[in-house]
Amino acid sequence: MLIVVDLYGLLPIREFGPTQLKAARNAMVARGWCRKFINKSIVRVRHVFWWGIENDMVEPVTLQRLEAVAGLAAGKTEAKDRPRRESVPAANVDAVKGAVSPLVRDLMDLQLLTGCRPGELLLLTTGMIDRSAAVWTATLEDHKTAHHGKTRRLHFGPKAQTILAKSLKADRTATLFSITRKHYSNCITDAAERRKLPRFTAHWLRHNTTTTVRDQFGMEAAQALAGHARPDMTANYSTKMDKLAADVVAKFG
């Protein structure tokens, strides 16, 4: 959005059309943004106009004109596609773990044991963790697919429980880990650079876990653990997936 503001912040909104949107898109390409991120950014710009229509600030025809601008197609633009995210070689993960703080190392291990997203772990408080069963669980209300009406439940097996136990607090509302998601990921990328290893971020560690679980327990188990199940599944199927994830971490995590 900042690119649009920089280029057309003083332009009357009724005069912002396909030509201006494509010019903003070209500026994104010139800055080296990847193709998919550019396409998502253009959608966000359109959402601003949706909001304007909803609040009687924009004429519907303005948005209709912007919707005529197609997304950048693969292989037909100068915008680059990021390489497909894959599992990080175990040797590289171990090298980075040896170059970071104990807190960052614990978070990396938790991700590898649970398949959680970094932000999911950093939301955890002592009060969120149900420790009444052999497999601990935490149910997140604020998560990536919450807007689909989907529940995200994290599962922690014996190894993960040992790590979590070190960070449990008397204040049940305090977060377990005193670090931001950005700082956590930067610690990993910086350590990789210091060790002269290919760059990877915290989110990549999910791929290590889901790949390993897929190979050992099957695709459905990997899907259950990572929370990739469809948002339109029935409640009975959701329960089945939760049980499957719990069974996996009891053996794996």
- Which of 19, 51, 66 represents a domain boundary (last residue)? 66
Q: Give residue 142's pLDDT.
A: 59
Q: Which residues pair with 152 in a beta bridge?
A: 140
Let me know whether 235 and 123 are in one domain. yes
Rg of the chain on CA atoms, in Å: 22
Let me know whether 61 and 94 are in one domain. no
The boundaries of the domain holding residue 47 are 2-66
Q: Give residue 236's pLDDT.
A: 45
Let me know whether 94 and 180 are in one domain. yes
CATH code of the domain covering residue 124: 1.10.443.10
Distances from the Cα of 223 to the Cα of 33, 72, 160, 217, 246, angstroms: 30, 30, 19, 11, 12
Let me know whether 140 and 219 are in one domain. yes
Total structural domains within the chain = 2
Let me know whether 100 and 56 are in one domain. no
pLDDT digit string (tens) for the chain, length 253 residues: 789 999 999 999 989 999 999 999 999 999 999 999 999 999 999 999 999 999 999 999 999 999 999 999 988 889 888 767 678 999 999 999 999 999 999 999 999 999 899 999 999 999 999 999 999 999 997 544 444 446 789 999 999 999 999 999 999 999 999 999 999 999 999 999 999 999 999 989 988 988 888 888 888 777 777 776 554 444 444 566 677 777 777 777 6
CA 246 – CA 155 distance, rounded (Å): 6
- Which of 32, 66, 100 represents a domain boundary (last residue)? 66
Q: Give residue 241's pLDDT.
A: 66
Kindly give the pairing relationship between strand 129-130 and strand 152-156.
unpaired
User: Residue 203 has what DSSP assignment?
Assistant: G
* pTM confidence score: 0.70
Question: Domain for residue 84, yes or no?
Answer: no
Asked whether 135 and 250 are in contact (CB, 8 A), the reply is yes
Let me know whether 98 and 39 are in one domain. no
Question: Domain for residue 24, yes or no?
Answer: yes
Question: Domain for residue 122, yes or no?
Answer: yes
- Residue 13's closest CA among 54, 43, 48? 48
Question: Domain for residue 78, yes or no?
Answer: no
- Which of 15, 50, 66 represents a domain boundary (last residue)? 66
Q: Give residue 238's pLDDT.
A: 54
